[in-house]
Amino acid sequence: MSFIGPKSQAMQKRAQQVIPLGVNSNFRYWGDGTTPYVARAKGSHLWDVDGRRYIDYRLAFGPIILGHAFDEVDQKVVEEIQNGILFAMTSELEVEVIEMLVEMCPAVEMVRLDCSGTEATMHAIRVARAYTGRDLILKFEGNYHGFQDHTLWSTYAPAEAYGNPRSPIPISASSGIPKVMGQLIITLPFNDFEGLERVMRSYGDQIAAVITEPCQGNCAAINPLPGFLERIRELTAQYGALFILDEVKTGFRIANGGAQEYYGIKPDLATYAKAMANGYPLAAFGGSREVMSLIGHGVAQGGTFNNNTPGVAAAYATLKILKERPILKTIEERGKRLMTGLKAIFEENDMPVALCGYPAMFSFAIGLERITNQREWHQSDKALYLKLVEMAIERGVMPDHDAREPWFLCYSHSDADIDETLSVYSDIVKEAKKHWKASW
């Protein structure tokens, strides 16, 4: 019996007639007969086409920071779209949104808007290459920077495929990416201080940028070891490369000023999308005036939908709410309770667990005490993690079906949601322990 209802299963069959895999992003396919189809969402809850209600911890992979269909944001969008949704001209609202971004993000002096995180990282990489006159990009295994070809390398492969950590093999994540682009990328395990020093010594003067997520938001939210981001900052500066911090998941979520504020680091360029507009399509990249000023002076950036009114109006309302109210503090308190409660449940059942990330965006790897990179994470009990996710979904709690994807919290998650989730996990971890052959 599937943990997904009959209407979802029927919808999947219908969708698969006209959409590859029946979904519009590969990540949304959980398998035949096990992929849910959604009807609606409000606050912290989501209902599937079978009418089942879930406490939603996927939050669309992170953008929902206030809550689904958050009235104040939607009202601002409705008000603004009465005056037109796209102009291919710049509006005052758009300038105001960018002024707020500059005020909130410590390293950001100038910004260009985009529509998706993919476009933001793609443009940031172009600007970095233009600024340095170099082509090489250094990225870390397990980090994901969107679907553009430049960094869709070593996002997810078996540890053996990555080769020896001293000289990792960049693994393309898709057929169709020109092999030759592999010559422009160097990969390393995350948190590898020694590897970073070695690569910078050997190639530092050819590297345009080191790009990283602050924590591995696409691999169990593995945190940076103390000093790792700071070391990237020092070494990039020493070798004349740029530091691109991909804050698509951490921006406006772990602090109003993202990881830059949280860790007190200043990258040359930073990318944003998700939480910035509570789910409406808007993204941004920004950085120092010196670097960003290249745009328009021989460096191209643009896009028809970059300043779409729904996205801009939603960002205006969302950023204003984040600035004026202790939203992230509330999320942090609830998230801390959920993280601590989950850890205690695993410990009570004698299961080692490595908790990673931040209260607003966390994950756990079962069977390990600590993880610092994707190679180590591969040794966790992913089968048990998945079994628990499926049992939780049957009981109305929905984390993502992929163990790499963090649990996200939003302002609309209530104390009652946290209590219900802990009660569900308390039951299912006990249950799984009885039936599941542990692999540790």
Ligand X SMILES: Cc1ncc(COP(=O)(O)O)c(C=O)c1O
Contact set with ligand X (CB under 6 A) = 61, 116-118, 121, 144-146, 213, 217-218, 246, 248-249, 273
Shortest CB 36 distance to ligand X, Å:
19
The residue from 29, 144, 280, 358 that is catalytic is 144
For residue 119, the one-letter residue type is: E
Query: 135: how many CB neighbours lie within 10 A of its CB?
Result: 13
Shortest CB 25 distance to ligand X, Å:
8
Q: Which is nearer to ligand X, 46 or 248 (CB)?
A: 248
Of 249, 142, 150, residue with least CA distance to 209: 150
Q: Which is nearer to ligand X, 48 or 246 (CB)?
A: 246
Active site residue 131: no
Q: Which residue is nearest to ligand X (CB)?
A: 117
The residue from 56, 246, 268, 381 that is catalytic is 246
Contact 259, 250 (CB under 8 A): yes
Give the bridge partners for 408, in sequence order: 361
Q: Which is nearer to ligand X, 146 or 224 (CB)?
A: 146
Active site residue 402: no
Q: Which is nearer to ligand X, 139 or 249 (CB)?
A: 249
Q: How many residues does the chain have?
A: 440
Residue 270 has phi, psi (to 5 degrees) of -140, 150
Active site residue 274: yes
Of 285, 266, 263, 282, residue with least CA distance to 274: 282
Task: Give the separation between CA 46 and CA 57, rounded to whole angstroms.
Answer: 10
User: E strand or H helix at 123, and its extent?
Assistant: helix 117-132
Of 334, 331, 340, residue with least CA distance to 256: 331
Shortest CB 251 distance to ligand X, Å:
9
Q: Which is nearer to ligand X, 258 or 359 (CB)?
A: 258
Q: Which is nearer to ligand X, 229 or 351 (CB)?
A: 229
Contact 343, 317 (CB under 8 A): no
Q: Which is nearer to ligand X, 52 or 145 (CB)?
A: 145
Query: 193: how many CB neighbours lie within 10 A of its CB?
Result: 14
Bridge-based pairing of strands 53-56 and 45-48 is antiparallel
> Which residues are within 8 A (CB) of 309 and not within 5 positions of it... i.e. 6 or more apart?
77, 80, 81, 83, 84, 85, 86, 91, 93
The residue from 76, 249, 274, 382 that is catalytic is 274
Contact 282, 115 (CB under 8 A): yes
Collapsing DSSP states into helix, strand and coil, what is residue 290?
helix
Shortest CB 408 distance to ligand X, Å:
11
For residue 49, the one-letter residue type is: V
Contact 303, 119 (CB under 8 A): yes
Shortest CB 311 distance to ligand X, Å:
11
Task: Give the separation between CA 146 and CA 351, rounded to whole angstroms.
Answer: 34
Shortest CB 304 distance to ligand X, Å:
16
Shortest CB 351 distance to ligand X, Å:
28
Q: Which burial class, exposed, middle or buried, applies to 39 when counting CB atoms under 10 A from its CB (0-12, 13-18, 19+)?
A: middle
Enumerate the active-site residues. Answer: 144, 246, 274
